[in-house]
A and B are shown apart, each in its own frame.
Chain A
């Protein structure tokens, strides 16, 4: 019984291959987009894990030289003898690989090579033999040293004993820093006494790579989910239509004695088989998507956060499982209502013909009710969402509510147009379009979500770009930026600049904790550059004057939000406690920032000397650099002009959104595919509806053209409704999600030309999708149309 019934159910798909293709393709595309994003995320996270297990430097306080230079290894010995639990580190470039020297016996637990492959001579490592640890890819680039493979290590990183590193880097007897282990013994002699040239850099636990990039991955995941939702709309449509068409078969199967629970079980099994097939295809597709996008993602993360991510993809079980899991979940989600309908359907009621439109009509009021409830929830959340969870809840309710509201709204618009129509063809066109709406509604919902996502993301990106460009103009006001190697070079620079009439603005900072948040403190010289160029989000009158007078500080938005600091609130920096006089926008910076007067900075951080400078040059910066090089030996490699910095910053920024742009295009393509498949699936059902119009004198060509016009008109209406939804989406991303994820809010700008172009793309997608079905309809043989009247179909 089971075999016969299952074969009968499956036979439907072989007789309707377009439906089968729609179902499998929709599910595979949805799974592909989702698992592609997951693959990228998994790859990046694996890279962070490797980096963390290699050397989790950020977790520990460190002692560094006040002048930022390397210092003698003897200091390490002195401190250890005094009882301080410290461990030396040295890093440098070896054949383009970052070689890190550690002292294995004193290093914190968990640092260094974790898993050693093959026969490893650990004694050789400990006794300073020329052994270097690296993963296989990195090892291939290291010549002339004995490399032991450890796959846990991050790309482009190698670990060696500190003695080996000193030898290979040609820095004998020198170290960069001393890691301070937690839980130091009590009653130790003060550091200032035994190591007066060193300063303590606090751990930056809150700014570890994974934390910084979480928000980026969250955005990717959100877009992956949105793409998946669009795909699930296709699947839901295909399953719904297939089940609708199989009502007759279901009735017959039950009438012939197939028990209901067996029937439901078989239909469920059938869906799960499809989910498995489409899931495997989708995961493979996701691999291709991820492989294409990963180099850009790696570049983005490297540029934006300094996170090193391997640019190549590995097959990881986690995202295989995730992809197949989401395929099964999506199929069950999309098929649940259809299965539920079959399960609840009385046997004899199934015998009654139920047109798709009738069923949709009964659902319409429920659907509109659900849409209104969701949009009301979104409205409430819009004024109360203050975190990522509520932000994404707002996004979800807004998008789903709007999608559910689309068919009733379109129906109302079509009813209005139908009432205004003059002429028999126009009246028939509008009435027929309304009849088609239920069959196309899922594809149109997918199209609306895709267009809205495009509008929302492009608005966010363009707003970000506009703001960021303006921000760079403010913050990179100096014509030249110069770095020096030593105190002597700094003195020569200052002397030359003063002689040339240029103002020197030192850039020096220290890492601190403020209000429980990791932050950077900048010492700033009193100069008009700051007063003229920096724009505050909030400030007291004369904020800069108070700051330069050492009576206040200004802070960035991130610190203000995370530390709950407002104007007038006191900020403690070491022994200083000063009020906040201004809050400035600091786009792209992951951590808090405080600016205080140069004198106050020097007083609080006496050992830190500036090694970078902004220079306000009156004449041609190139002439200044030439003169500077001749007079001081500071090379062109140490100077960078403002245009260069801006170009680099913008290039980093552009790559940040390459991934989301690619996902947007894919999502729009999926929506176009949904329209095509819906129209192809509906085409067979259209013949009985169009045959009477043909019989009454309309040509097949005219019917085909009207079909095309109908699809285009519905796409235009959908695009028009997607515009406000897209703008709302942009607002949520900029004002809610961005604040929660990054800590700063972006102003929102509108870009009508971009929207018009998007509308054009949507129209093109609709024309391409509707063209083929319309062409096929226009060429329907008269014999097929006649069969409608012969009752022989």
Chain B
């Protein structure tokens, strides 16, 4: 079953030097449970594409069908609902809520989505090796630990699609490998699709498919 269809998507940003086309007719598809790596140089439009699919930004033209729903037709509230329930985003900068304890951070998105499952959250924490840190605050954890919290938070509401934007970009090689192992394992278990932006060819190779972007187009 096709989870995601992106069809001739374009996006242009206004810059001081005039309009800058970031995406120029990008098309792709993703099946349910499939993982896809998006690679490309800096400025090739990878993150922009991820933001558009996640409903964080609006495309100028083209179509995004996610789980049978056209994202372009959604208003702000509709796209917010999409982010709550259908999509989970793992950011490079972790973006945990600094004033909430780790346990609350893990459960947070599931609570927002109204799908909080304490047992599942506990499982995620255990699988991510966070059980001893649940009563701590994010600032008391290392970068690798914080990213594991962010992944657990993303998976807590069991999203249909996980979007990951350079999820290990801030981590050392060893830690990055560990975190990736955990993420891929859990995503596969939940049956979610995974679309991951990465510079690393090594990480990209671990996903089922790879798509290379160059100057806003699929190479």
Name the prevailing secondary structure of the A interface residues: helix
Please name all residues of chain B whose beta carbon is closer than 8 Å to the beta carbon of A254 when the two chains form the complex: 80
Say yes or no: is B70 at the interface (Cβ < 8 Å to chain A). Answer: no
- Which residues between 752 and 793 of chain A lie within 8 Å of chain B, taking CB atoms? 791-793
Interface string of B41-75 (1 = CB under 8 A from A): 00000000001001011000000000000000000
A11-B99 in contact (CB<8A): yes
Say yes or no: is B30 at the interface (Cβ < 8 Å to chain A). Answer: no
* Cα(A527)–Cα(B71), bound, Å: 99
A255-B142 in contact (CB<8A): no
Say yes or no: is B100 at the interface (Cβ < 8 Å to chain A). Answer: yes
Residue of B54, B85, B95, B96 contacting most chain A CB atoms (<10 Å): B95
B97-A259 in contact (CB<8A): no
Please name all residues of chain A whose beta carbon is closer than 8 Å to the beta carbon of B108 when the two chains form the complex: 4, 8, 256
Which chain B residue has the least Cβ–Cβ distance from A346? Answer: B57
Please name all residues of chain A whose beta carbon is closer than 8 Å to the beta carbon of B54 when the two chains form the complex: 255
A259-B89 in contact (CB<8A): no
Please name all residues of chain A whose beta carbon is closer than 8 Å to the beta carbon of B91 when the two chains form the complex: 255
B99-A256 in contact (CB<8A): no
In angstroms, how far is the closest chain B Cβ from the Cβ of A172? 82
* Cα(A57)–Cα(B142), bound, Å: 81
Which chain B residue has the least Cβ–Cβ distance from A16? Answer: B99
A4-B112 in contact (CB<8A): yes
Please name all residues of chain A whose beta carbon is closer than 8 Å to the beta carbon of B142 when the two chains form the complex: 792
Interface size on B, residues (CB 8 A): 31
Please name all residues of chain B whose beta carbon is closer than 8 Å to the beta carbon of A248 when the two chains form the complex: 95, 98
* Cα(A8)–Cα(B85), bound, Å: 19
Q: Of B56, B113, B139, which is within 8 A of A793 by CB? A: B139
In angstroms, how far is the closest chain B Cβ from the Cβ of A267? 14
Knowing A258-B112, A259-B77, A260-B76 touch, does A347 contact B97 (C-beta < 8 A)? no
Interface string of A1-27 (1 = CB under 8 A from B): 101110110011111100000000000
Interface string of B82-93 (1 = CB under 8 A from A): 111100010100
In angstroms, how far is the closest chain A Cβ from the Cβ of B176? 15
Please name all residues of chain A whose beta carbon is closer than 8 Å to the beta carbon of B97 when the two chains form the complex: 8, 11, 249, 252-253
Interface size on A, residues (CB 8 A): 30
Q: Of B80, B109, B111, B113, which is within 8 A of A259 by CB? A: B80
Which chain A residue has the least Cβ–Cβ distance from B83? Answer: A257
Say yes or no: is A251 at the interface (Cβ < 8 Å to chain B). Answer: yes
A348-B112 in contact (CB<8A): no
Knowing A15-B137, A792-B142 touch, does A257 contact B109 (C-beta < 8 A)? yes
- Which residues between 1 and 59 of chain A lie within 8 Å of chain B, taking CB atoms? 1, 3-5, 7-8, 11-16
* Cα(A4)–Cα(B76), bound, Å: 20
In angstroms, how far is the closest chain B Cβ from the Cβ of A12? 5
Residue of B57, B80, B114 contacting most chain A CB atoms (<10 Å): B80
Knowing A259-B76, A348-B51 touch, does A8 contact B99 (C-beta < 8 A)? yes
Which chain A residue has the least Cβ–Cβ distance from B146? Answer: A792
Please name all residues of chain B whose beta carbon is closer than 8 Å to the beta carbon of A15 when the two chains form the complex: 98-99, 137
A256-B84 in contact (CB<8A): yes
Say yes or no: is B25 at the interface (Cβ < 8 Å to chain A). Answer: no
* Cα(A258)–Cα(B51), bound, Å: 16
Knowing A249-B97, A257-B80, A258-B80 touch, does A4 contact B111 (C-beta < 8 A)? yes
Knowing A1-B84, A15-B137 touch, does A249 contact B99 (C-beta < 8 A)? yes
- Which residues between 2 and 46 of chain B lie within 8 Å of chain A, taking CB atoms? none
In angstroms, how far is the closest chain A Cβ from the Cβ of B183? 17
* Cα(A256)–Cα(B82), bound, Å: 9
A11-B100 in contact (CB<8A): yes
A257-B95 in contact (CB<8A): no
A348-B57 in contact (CB<8A): yes
Please name all residues of chain B whose beta carbon is closer than 8 Å to the beta carbon of A259 when the two chains form the complex: 76-77, 80-81
Please name all residues of chain A whose beta carbon is closer than 8 Å to the beta carbon of B77 when the two chains form the complex: 259, 261
Please name all residues of chain B whose beta carbon is closer than 8 Å to the beta carbon of A347 when the two chains form the complex: 56-57
B111-A257 in contact (CB<8A): no
* Cα(A1)–Cα(B112), bound, Å: 4
Residue of A4, A254, A256, A260 contacting most chain B CB atoms (<10 Å): A256
Please name all residues of chain A whose beta carbon is closer than 8 Å to the beta carbon of B83 when the two chains form the complex: 255-257
Which chain A residue has the least Cβ–Cβ distance from B55? Answer: A257
Please name all residues of chain B whose beta carbon is closer than 8 Å to the beta carbon of A348 when the two chains form the complex: 51, 56-57
* Cα(A12)–Cα(B104), bound, Å: 13
Please name all residues of chain B whose beta carbon is closer than 8 Å to the beta carbon of A258 when the two chains form the complex: 80, 84, 112
Interface string of A609-622 (1 = CB under 8 A from B): 00000000000000
B113-A255 in contact (CB<8A): no
Please name all residues of chain A whose beta carbon is closer than 8 Å to the beta carbon of B96 when the two chains form the complex: 252
Please name all residues of chain B whose beta carbon is closer than 8 Å to the beta carbon of A792 when the two chains form the complex: 142-143
* Cα(A8)–Cα(B91), bound, Å: 19
Knowing A4-B108, A347-B56, A347-B57 touch, does A257 contact B113 (C-beta < 8 A)? yes
In angstroms, how far is the closest chain B Cβ from the Cβ of A348? 6
Please name all residues of chain B whose beta carbon is closer than 8 Å to the beta carbon of A251 when the two chains form the complex: 95
- Which residues between 175 and 210 of chain B lie within 8 Å of chain A, taking CB atoms? none
Please name all residues of chain B whose beta carbon is closer than 8 Å to the beta carbon of A260 when the two chains form the complex: 76, 80
Q: Of B57, B85, B98, B137, which is within 8 A of A257 by CB? A: B85
In angstroms, how far is the closest chain A Cβ from the Cβ of B74? 12
* Cα(A254)–Cα(B114), bound, Å: 16
Please name all residues of chain B whose beta carbon is closer than 8 Å to the beta carbon of A252 when the two chains form the complex: 95-97
- Which residues between 258 and 282 of chain A lie within 8 Å of chain B, taking CB atoms? 258-261
Knowing A257-B80, A792-B142, A793-B139 touch, does A1 contact B111 (C-beta < 8 A)? yes
Which chain A residue has the least Cβ–Cβ distance from B75? Answer: A259
Please name all residues of chain A whose beta carbon is closer than 8 Å to the beta carbon of B139 when the two chains form the complex: 793
Which chain A residue has the least Cβ–Cβ distance from B77? Answer: A259
* Cα(A252)–Cα(B143), bound, Å: 17
In angstroms, how far is the closest chain A Cβ from the Cβ of B90? 11
Please name all residues of chain A whose beta carbon is closer than 8 Å to the beta carbon of B95 when the two chains form the complex: 248, 251-252, 255
Please name all residues of chain B whose beta carbon is closer than 8 Å to the beta carbon of A4 when the two chains form the complex: 108, 111-112
Q: CB within 8 Å of A: which residues of B?
A: 51, 54, 56-57, 76-77, 80-85, 89, 91, 95-100, 104, 108-109, 111-114, 137, 139, 142-143
A/B interface sample: 18 pairs, CB < 8 A: A1-B84, A1-B112, A1-B114, A3-B111, A4-B112, A7-B104, A8-B108, A11-B97, A11-B99, A11-B100, A15-B99, A15-B137, A248-B95, A255-B83, A256-B109, A256-B112, A257-B81, A257-B113
Q: CB within 8 Å of B: which residues of A?
A: 1, 3-5, 7-8, 11-16, 248-249, 251-261, 347-348, 791-793
Q: Told that A7-B100, A11-B99, A255-B89 touch, could you supply 17 new A-B pairs with CB distance under 8 A?
A: A1-B84, A1-B111, A1-B112, A3-B111, A4-B112, A8-B104, A252-B95, A252-B96, A256-B108, A256-B109, A257-B85, A257-B109, A259-B80, A260-B80, A347-B57, A348-B56, A791-B143
